[in-house]
Structures are given as structure tokens and as C-alpha cells.
Chains A and B, each alone.
Chain A
Amino acid sequence: EAEVAQSPRYKITEKSQAVAFWCDPISGHATLYWYRQILGQGPELLVQFQDESVVDDSQLPKDRFSAERLKGVDSTLKIQPAELGDSAMYLCASSLGLAGPTDTQYFGPGTRLTVL
């Protein structure tokens, strides 16, 4: 069964450093989501792509976060500089992209970021 892949699984960095996370969605999925999940809370959408275009980045802290999906397949989320409050699980999800929010979203295993 196809799954969403993410790397790295764990990342420890010092504040003010740059970090990057990678996501490879399920083949054929046009929509890709990046979520941030703080311990004890539900996932919060950071950015959503439809193919290579950003559909929603209203919750993305654009002064330090950036995301790209250049060829409409895999995606990279970057934080520069990292702050202590960025410590969280970063989840990537993908969906077929045919029915908007009612498409089933499939999640990757996540990247757990710790900022020291």
C-alpha cells in the first residue's frame, strides 16, 4: 500500500539555525498539506498545495517559514531561523485533489523537531 514518506523522522537543532523537511506524497495525489502538531493538540494546517500552486498559506509564519513544491510532486518545508517555539511534530499529508476538503487525507509519519 502506498504511503506518504517524510524525512528526517527526527531533527534536533539549535535556535537560529535553519532546518528543512522533505515530503513525498502518494503517487498521483495532487494536493499536499503541511501541518504542525504541538504536543497535546490537533494538527494545524500551515500550507496547502494543489499541484505546484499554494492554495492556502494563511497560517504559515512567512517571516521564517517557506514551502515549495516545484514540480508538483515532492515538497520541502524550511524554517530559518528556528525558534524554541517551533518544537513540534511536522506532518505532511496528501490527497487526490478531486473533491477539495472532502478528499481523504493520508498522513506521513511526521518529523519531530526539537529546537534547543
Chain B
Amino acid sequence: GENVEQHPSTLSVQEGDSAVIKCTYSDSASNYFPWYKQELGKRPQLIIDIRSNVGEKKDQRIAVTLNKTAKHFSLHITETQPEDSAVYFCAASIRGFQKLVFGTGTRLLVSP
């Protein structure tokens, strides 16, 4: 079936460093790629998304890049802060189905 692989599963950085999380997808027809942040005990919240007609999107310290040829996309967080600590999930839309498939998540820990 269609799947989304996400790496790394855990990521520890020092405050101020950059963090990069990568996802690969299998469905060449996928055209929508959101990223969700889930803090401990809270609901997943959309932080940024990208559609297949663009290669990069940026929102302040967060950016997402998409390589359709290689079928992978990445989340970039610059100048990380302790409040960025959370689990981040990527997802991809699935052709023929009105649904998203999620990655397994990356636990980001930003140390002061």
C-alpha cells in the first residue's frame, strides 16, 4: 500500500541550531504535503503545507522543500527554540483516495 517514511525518529539539537526532518512518499500522484506539530498531550496542529506545484515554501523560521522527482520533502526549522520541542508528523495525499497518509513522527528536543 501507499506509505510515507519519516526520518529521523528522534532529533536533539541545541537552541539556535537548525533542525531538518525528511519524508519520502511512494505515490507519484501525491500532490499535497502537510506538516503537523504535536506537543505532549495536545492535538496535532498544522504548521506548514506545500502543494506539488511549488518546490519550496517558507513561513518565518519554518520552511518546507519538495523534490517531486525523488519523491521526498523536508521540514526545516531555523534558530530553534525550546518551545519547538514536540513530535512532528509529515503526511502525503493519496491518489484516488480522499485521504492523507502520515509518517511515523519525529520527536524533536531543543535544549537550552
A-side interface residues toward B, CB under 8 Å? 4, 31, 33, 40-45, 48, 50, 55-56, 91, 100-102, 104-110
Given A42-B105, A91-B43, A107-B44, check contact A101 B98 (CB 8 Å): yes
For A50, the chain B residues whose CB sits under 8 A away are: 98
Apart from A40-B104, A102-B32, list 11 A-B contacts with CB within 8 A: A4-B43, A31-B98, A41-B104, A42-B91, A42-B102, A42-B103, A45-B101, A91-B43, A102-B31, A102-B51, A110-B43
> Does B20 interact with chain A (Cβ within 8 Å)?
no
> Does B100 interact with chain A (Cβ within 8 Å)?
yes
The 6 tightest CB contacts between A and B, nearest first, are A42-B102, A101-B93, A102-B32, A107-B43, A100-B98, A107-B44
Q: List 30 A-B contacts (CB under 8 A).
A: A4-B43, A31-B98, A40-B104, A41-B105, A42-B4, A42-B6, A42-B89, A42-B91, A42-B104, A43-B44, A43-B89, A43-B102, A45-B99, A45-B100, A45-B101, A48-B99, A50-B98, A91-B43, A100-B93, A101-B93, A101-B97, A101-B98, A102-B31, A102-B93, A104-B46, A105-B46, A107-B44, A107-B45, A109-B43, A110-B43
Taking CB atoms and an 8 Å cut-off, the chain B residues in 57-97 that contact chain A are: 89, 91, 93-94, 97
For B36, the chain A residues whose CB sits under 8 A away are: 107
Q: How many whole Å from A35's CB to the nearest CB in chain B?
A: 8
Give how many B residues have a beta carbon under 8 Å from the other chain's beta carbons.
26
Say whether A101 contacts B43, CB under 8 Å. Answer: no
For A110, the chain B residues whose CB sits under 8 A away are: 43
